[in-house]
């Protein structure tokens, strides 16, 4: 079918469309209900079907004859390790570890926090939880203990799974002390911490609550898959909102499995047996959807890469991986290619590898700038496809559909530079003004999606359904509010211009400026502050603090900057890349005292801005522009 037929069919009768798509996966008991409204005013798909996500990713693949096919290619240039793990072997590892987890008291519905680097045991951990019907919550390794503690108190995990260390370029980062610190700082205490010991750095397992990953599996009975309902949670993934309290996005089992299978085949154009690479980390939604669950549920071989695009050992490492495993398609953030281009501008390292297996490359997570686009497509001579999604949706909202037999009337891969392509079936995307009126094509506004959202999209926040409703469904009744701004062209192509809230995107990592502001403003010398994102050549955006010092405080600007940088690193984490704080005399405010953040965002992005009519003193904006220039920002 052509794109337009699919899109129209899903729009005209979503329930019928997604009832048919439910047949993509193996249910223990087929859902009787396709779409249900929930008590909190949201929706759930396939609520009463019975399935198990681990079964779909492993046992079902084996039943289909893929037992000896490679499920995961673990490639770790930072430890010089490679492993090809078949579906049979992965199922055995997962079943055994699930048995061990069950022995430690983990059962259906319990939560488990995972803080691990990109080693195969991390995938085993996620899948073992899914096998038991337990709910995992992966925390990205770059977060500081304080951030982990916030998540521990919210998710209340029964156990924590970690590794002795992670490797960042040539640094070995001890993870266990970070976990200990997080537990010490949290009110909730897990029963135990299970540690996967890596030979590069062993952790001290010095408390009775510290257990060894291998030892707990000795003599254990492997666990079978526990059936769960379609609406039961599979995982919680915390993401940045506008405050210091991250949002625990809850993913269900049923809608998620159907949506991933749909996207893997139709959007990414992957079939069982293909080799797929999601070049990200299990700490992010891409890692959940398209390193672990999606490719395995679709019978692909998935690359599990522990390294960086550069300096591990060089800017040719991505090309080596593509050639060595015959990668057919991949997902990547544009940052990675910007970093590679900086080191190898002429792409000489790519030319040393046979990249003929590659059909196309998908990019997302942040804006794809035109020069990266042209550099990459000229170098690889394959379609470079920008597409758009979020942690909340779990799969793309706009994208070319590379798997449709007749993808679109025109060439599906034909890019419209700056556009993330057209809405996928199930996403009725509208551009609204601040009052909720639909804007004509070409005019920028709030990008929203008419409810209900399709299967796979989150419909609750852990322990806080009201927050889901207030965050996403209240600003524009009847719509899901994405938090992104942008416009649509005459042919329905969507252009994302950036966030309309206080979220920034640093190296494809979503971060809350509000969270950093809480840390900065807690410094005793700081009267008030605003953290804004400035443009960065490699990472897209970087946070910068604009800080007003308390009257009478005697502190040198450089010393204050150093102290604030240290505090954000300690309390949010190194991944925030908060390295600059600029002292200003005052911040622009409305007459009622609200900081004009939207205007600050525009100044930081060097975009033209309209003088807000509510500003109390317009000269402050010139002052800030000048201070940023003096501090070295363009
Ligand atoms: N565990 C511990 N620390 C981590 C970490 C992890 N998993 N990931 C990042 N960090 C730390 C880094 O060591 C670094 O610390 P430093 O300030 O001491 O150097 C800091 O967090 C920032 O890391 P990062 O943003 O990765 O910057 P970098 O300079 O180390 O690397 C790139 C630059 C471009 C190579 C890197 O950002 C990259 O690979 N980007 C692509 C990201 C991506 O794929 N995103 C997809 C998300 S969907
Ligand atoms: P995350 O939830 O971490 O996946 O981040 C989602 C956010 O990243 C979106 O809301 C957008 O702001 C941004 N984003 C994702 N994909 C794109 C894209 N292709 N182009 C521009 N911004 C994007």
DSSP conformation letters of 262-298: HIIIIIS---TT-EEEE-S-TTSHHHIIIIIIHHHHT
Instruction: Please list the helix, strand and coil fractions of the chain in percent, rounded to the nearest 5, in that order.
Output: 30, 25, 40
Torsion of CA 204, 207, 210, 215, to 10 degrees: 80
pLDDT of res. 409: 47
CATH architecture of 3-386: 3-Layer(aba) Sandwich (3.40)
Please tell me the distance from the alpha carbon of residue 589 to that of residue 618, in angstroms, as a whole number: 9
Give 546's contacts (C-beta < 8 A, 6+ positions apart).
529, 530, 531, 532, 581, 582, 584, 587, 600, 624, 627
How far does the centroid of ligand 2 lie from the alpha carbon of residue 544, in Å? 20
Smallest CA-to-CA distance from 579 within 560, 559, 564 is with 564
Instruction: Indicate which ligand has the atom closest to the C-alpha of 312.
Output: 1
Q: How far is ligand 2, taken at its centre, from the CA of residue 482, in Å?
A: 10
Strands of the 445-450 sheet, one edge to the other: 429-432, 445-450, 479-488, 494-499
For atom 9 of ligand 2, the residue with the nearest CA is 390
Q: Ligand 2: which of 238, 240, 331, 364 to mutate, judged by most atoms within 8 Å of the beta carbon?
A: 364
Of all atoms in ligand 1, which is nearest to the CA of residue 311? 35
Cα–ligand 2 centroid distance for 243 (angstroms): 18
Residue nearest (by alpha carbon) to ligand 2 atom 3: 510
Instruction: Report whether residue 141 contacts ligand 1, using a CB cutoff of 6 Å.
Output: yes
**335 Cβ closer than 6 Å to some ligand 1 atom:** yes
- Letter string b/e over residues 191-204, b meaning 16 or more CB atoms within 10 A of that residue's CB: ebbbbbbbeebebe
Residue of the nearest CA to atom 8 in ligand 1? 142
The ligand 1 atom nearest the CA atom of 365 = 48
**Residue 108, helix vs strand vs coil:** coil
Pairing relation of β-strands 192-196 and 159-163? parallel
Task: Say which residues have a Cβ less than 8 Å from residue 248's Cβ, sequence separation at least 6.
Answer: 137, 151, 154, 155, 236, 237, 238, 461, 462, 463, 464
**Ligand 1 centroid from CA 418, angstroms:** 25
pLDDT, mean of each 10-residue run, the chain (634 residues): 89 98 98 92 95 98 98 98 98 98 98 98 98 98 94 98 96 97 98 98 96 98 98 96 86 98 97 98 98 98 98 98 98 97 98 97 95 96 96 97 69 77 97 97 97 97 95 96 96 92 91 93 96 93 95 94 97 95 92 84 81 80 88 82
Which residue in the block uniquely carries the two structure tokens 């002390």? Answer: 177
Scan for tokens 């102290």, then name that residue.
563
Residues 328-361 pLDDT 10s: 999 999 999 999 999 999 999 999 999 999 999 9
- Nearest alpha carbon to residue 127 among 62, 73, 56, 185: 56
Ligand 2 atom closest to Cα of 368? 20
Question: Which ligand has the shortest distance to the CA of 373?
Answer: 2
Q: Is 483 in the pocket of ligand 2 (CB under 6 A)?
A: yes
Residues in the chain, overall count: 634
CA distances from 142 to 166, 562, 590 (A): 10, 20, 36
pTM (two decimals): 0.96
**CA–CA separation, 519 vs 154, rounded Å?**
20
* Atom number, ligand 2, closest to the C-alpha of residue 498: 12
Q: Check pocket membership of 229 for ligand 2, CB cut-off 6 A.
A: no
**What is the 591 CA–ligand 1 centroid distance (Å)?**
40
160 lines ligand 1 (CB under 6 A): no
Q: Report how many helices (DSSP H) and strands (DSSP E) the chain contains, helices first.
A: 20, 29
- Pocket mutation for ligand 2, best pick of 423, 484, 493, 576 (most atoms within 8 Å of C-beta): 484
Closest CA to 538 of 574, 566, 508: 508
**How far apart are alpha carbons 353 and 376 in whole angstroms?**
15
Tally of CA atoms within 13 A in the half-sphere of 12 that contains its CB = 6
CB distance 367 to 496 below 8 Å: yes
Q: Ligand 1 center to residue 483 CA distance, Å?
A: 24
Within the chain, which residue ranges are assigned CATH 3.30.300.30? 505-630
The count of other CB atoms within 10 Å of the CB of residue 245 is 17
**Cβ neighbours of 88 (radius 10 Å):** 16
Rounded Cα distance between 525 and 305, Å, is: 43
Evaluate: CB of 307 within 6 angstroms of ligand 1. no
Q: Please confirm whether the linkage preceding 452 is cis (ω < 30° from 0).
A: yes
- What's domain 505-630's architecture? 2-Layer Sandwich (3.30)
CATH 3.40.50.12780 domain locations along the chain? 3-386
Distance CA 43, CA 46 (A): 10
390 CA distance to ligand 2 centroid (A)? Answer: 6
Whether the ω angle into residue 395 lies within 30 degrees of 0, i.e. cis, is no
Please choose from 164, 198, 308 the residue to mutate so as to test ligand 1's pocket, defined by most ligand atoms within 8 A of CB.
Answer: 308
Tell whether ligand 1 has an atom less than 6 A from the beta carbon of residue 173.
yes
What is d(CA 483, CA 501) in angstroms, rounded to the nearest whole number? 6
What is the predicted pLDDT for the residue at 359? 96
Give yes or no for residue 390 CB within 6 A of ligand 2. yes
């Amino acid at each position: 079918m052509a794109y337009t037929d699919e899109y129209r069919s899903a729009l005209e009768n979503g329930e019928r469309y997604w009832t048919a798509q439910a047949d993509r996966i193996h249910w223990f008991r087929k859902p009787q209900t396709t779409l249900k409204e929930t008590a909190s005013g949201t929706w759930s798909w396939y609520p009463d079907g019975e399935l198990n996500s681990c079964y779909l990713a492993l046992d079902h693949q084996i039943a289909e004859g893929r037992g000896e096919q490679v499920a995961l290619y673990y490639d770790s240039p930072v430890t010089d390790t490679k492993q090809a793990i078949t579906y049979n072997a992965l199922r055995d590892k997962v079943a055994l570890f699930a048995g061990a987890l069950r022995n430690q008291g983990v059962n259906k519905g319990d939560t488990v926090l995972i803080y691990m680097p990109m080693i195969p045991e991390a995938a085993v951990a996620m899948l073992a939880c899914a096998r038991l019907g337990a709910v995992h919550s992966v925390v990205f390794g770059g977060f500081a203990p304080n951030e982990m503690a916030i998540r521990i108190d919210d998710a209340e995990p029964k156990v924590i799974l970690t590794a002795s260390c992670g490797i960042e370029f040539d640094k070995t980062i001890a993870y266990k002390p970070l976990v200990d610190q997080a537990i010490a700082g949290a009110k909730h205490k897990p029963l135990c911490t299970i540690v996967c010991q890596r030979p590069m750095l062993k952790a001290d397992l010095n408390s009775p609550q510290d257990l060894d990953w291998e030892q707990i599996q000795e003599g254990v009975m492997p666990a079978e898959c526990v059936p769960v309902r379609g609406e039961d949670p599979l995982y919680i993934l915390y993401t940045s909102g506008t405050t210091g309290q991250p949002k625990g996005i809850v993913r269900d089992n049923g809608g998620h499995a159907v949506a991933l299978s749909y996207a893997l085949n139709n959007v990414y154009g992957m079939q069982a047996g293909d080799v797929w690479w999601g070049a990200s980390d299990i700490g992010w939604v891409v890692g959940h959807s398209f390193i672990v669950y999606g490719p395995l549920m679709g019978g692909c071989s998935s690359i599990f890469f522990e390294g960086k695009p550069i300096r591990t050992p060089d800017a040719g490492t991505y090309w080596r991986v593509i050639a060595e495993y015959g990668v057919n398609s991949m997902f990547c953030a544009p940052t990675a290619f910007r970093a590679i281009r900086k080191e190898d501008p002429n792409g000489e390292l790519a030319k040393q590898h046979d990249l003929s297996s590659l059909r196309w490359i998908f990019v997302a997570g942040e804006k794809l700038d035109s020069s990266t686009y042209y550099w990459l497509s000229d170098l690889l001579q394959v379609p470079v496809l920008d597409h758009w999604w979020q942690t909340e949706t779990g799969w793309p909202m706009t994208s070319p559909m590379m798997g449709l037999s007749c993808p679109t009337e025109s060439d599906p891969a034909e890019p419209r530079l700056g556009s993330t392509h057209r809405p996928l079936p199930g996403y009725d995307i509208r551009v609204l003004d601040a009052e909720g009126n639909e804007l004509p094509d070409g005019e920028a506004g709030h990008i929203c999606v008419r409810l209900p959202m399709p299967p796979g999209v989150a419909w609750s926040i852990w322990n806080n359904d009201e927050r889901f409703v207030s965050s996403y469904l209240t600003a524009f009744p009847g719509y899901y509010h994405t938090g992104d701004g942008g416009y649509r062209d005459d042919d329905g192509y969507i252009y994302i211009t950036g966030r309309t809230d206080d979220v920034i995107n640093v190296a494809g990592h979503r971060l809350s400026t509000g969270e950093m502001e809480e840390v900065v403003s807690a410094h005793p010398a700081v009267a008030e502050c605003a953290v804004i994102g400035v443009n960065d050549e490699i990472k897209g955006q970087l946070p910068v603090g604009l800080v007003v010092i308390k009257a009478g405080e005697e502190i040198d600007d450089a010393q204050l900057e150093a102290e604030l940088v240290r505090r954000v690193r300690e309390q949010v984490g190194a991944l925030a890349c908060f390295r600059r704080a600029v002292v200003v005399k005052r911040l622009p405010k409305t007459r009622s005292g609200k900081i004009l953040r939207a205007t600050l965002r525009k100044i930081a992005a060097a975009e033209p801005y309209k003088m807000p009519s509510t500003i109390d003193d317009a000269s402050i904006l010139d002052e800030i522009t000048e201070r940023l220039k003096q501090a070295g920002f363009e």
